[in-house]
Structure 1
Amino acid sequence: MITFPISLLVNWQCTSQVSDLSSSEREWLFEPHSLTVKLKSRAQVFSVKVLSEKIFDLTLEQKALLGCEASTALNREVLLLCDNIPMVYAQSWLPDNQLSNQPKNPLHNMGDRPLGDVIFQNPELVRKEIEVARFDTEHPIQQLALQLNLPIQKLLGRRSVFSLKDYNFLVCEVFLPGAYLYS
């Protein structure tokens, strides 16, 4: 049984610290534009499966990473599927903006729409540095691979903090076994 949110505690590294990646791995991990668009271009049918969507307390590390004062955030966990094959596990942390008098955050009501389809349409979107991580065969993300009947293998992931005006949010993406990244 998987407990959400799936822990993504791992040694995240800045791009300058990562040197031993194949050209395919680099192409996917350092894609500066929408991963959703890139995946859609490779598939007949693209879909999103929501695994979990709940409010959680932010850790001190997450608050520092996001540079925010919010104490809670919506954690959204999804699978990005190409032709019904899970390619990417994505986790986003969307801080609660109850501290301000702003209207309800539209990113908190995505349903099964991909976050990438919404955020990359906004010309004010700024992506901070992409960080990369390796997930060994003992990492908790492997429980998801098992549940999806995918082979257990070392996985690669990336994360970025995005900004829309003064609103920062975190997106982490782990490429599952069989993802295009590994071809």
Structure 2
Amino acid sequence: MTTFPISLSVDWSPASQVSDLSNSEHDWLFESHSLTAKLKSHSQSFSVKVLSEQVFDLSIQQQKLLNCTLTSALNREVLLLCDDKPMVYAQSWLPDNLLLKQSKNPLHNMGERPLGDVIFQDPELVRKNIEIARFNSIHPLQQLVSQLNLPKQTLLGRRSVFSLQSYNFLVCEVFLPGAYLYS
């Protein structure tokens, strides 16, 4: 049984240090617009399956990434499915800011709505640097891969900090076996 949140502790590399990617891998990992929109354009049906949505303490590393002193965040873990096939495991860390809760932050309580459908509608959205990571066959994420009956293989992922009206949040996306990225 998978325990949430799934640890995404690996060596994340700045984009400038990643050179051994295929053209397809590069195109998907460095997509600057909505990954949700790109996935939708490659499938007949797109859906989101929420795996977990809970408040957790932020690690010191996450606080540094988010440039915040807040100690907790809403962690949302989802699968992005194309034609009922899991393509991407995504995890977001939305700092638990009381003022945002009081203003009805649209990023909280999203249910099965994709985060990309919400954030990329705002012209003030800023994405900071994309970092890339590889998740080997013994990484804890592989437990989810096994539960999905997908073959174990090294997986590629990306993460970015986004800023929306001075609110920073972290989004990590890992491409699962069989995702378009690997074709």
TM bin, normalised by shorter chain, reads: over 0.9
Q: CA RMSD in A?
A: 1.1
User: What residue number does 1:78 align with?
Assistant: 78
> How far apart, CA to CA, are the structure 2 residues paired with 1:101 and 1:29?
31
The alpha-carbon deviation at position 100 of structure 1 amounts to: 7.1
TM-score (normalised: structure 1): 0.98
Contact 1:56 1:74 in 2 (8 A): yes
State yes or no: 1:30 paired with 2:10: no
Q: Which amino acid aligns with 1:105?
A: N
Match of 1:129 in 2: 129
- Residue number in structure 1 paired with 2:6: 6
Q: Which secondary structure does the structure 2 equivalent of 1:146 belong to?
A: helix
Distance 2:71 2:78 in 1: 23
TM-superposed CA distance for 1:105, in Å, is 2.0
Partner AA of 2:114 in structure 1: P
SS of aligned partner of 2:98: coil
1:110 maps to a residue whose letter is: M
What is the Cα deviation at residue 104 of structure 1? 3.3
Q: Percentage identity across aligned positions?
A: 75
Q: Which runs of 4+ in 1 moved over 3 A?
A: 99-102
- Provide the C-alpha distance between the structure 2 equivalents of 1:95 and 1:56, rounded to a whole number of angstroms: 9
Post-superposition shift, 1:98? 1.6
Q: d(CA) in 2 for partners of 1:34 and 1:100?
A: 23
Distance 2:75 2:124 in 1: 23
1:141, 1:99 → 2: CA distance? Answer: 33
- 1:6 partner letter: I
- Is the CA contact 1:97–1:105 (under 8 Å) kept in the aligned structure 2? no
In structure 2, what is the equivalent of residue 21 of structure 1? 21
- What residue is the counterpart of 1:109 in the other structure? 109
Aligned residues: 183
For the residues of structure 1 that align with 2:85 and 2:111, how far apart are their CA atoms?
Answer: 20
Instruction: Report the 3-state secondary structure (helix = DSSP H, G, I; strand = E; otherwise coil) of the residue aligned with 1:76.
Output: strand
How far apart in 2 are the matches of 1:10 and 1:105?
30
1:160 aligns with 2:175: no
Instruction: Give structure 2 stretches of 5+ with no counterpart.
Output: none
TM-score by length of 2: 0.98
Contact residue 73 and residue 93 of structure 1 kept, 8 A: yes
- Structure-2 separation of matches of 1:104 and 1:76: 17
Q: How far, CA to CA, are the matches of 1:108 and 1:76 in structure 2?
A: 9
Distance of 2:30 and 2:88 partners within structure 1: 15
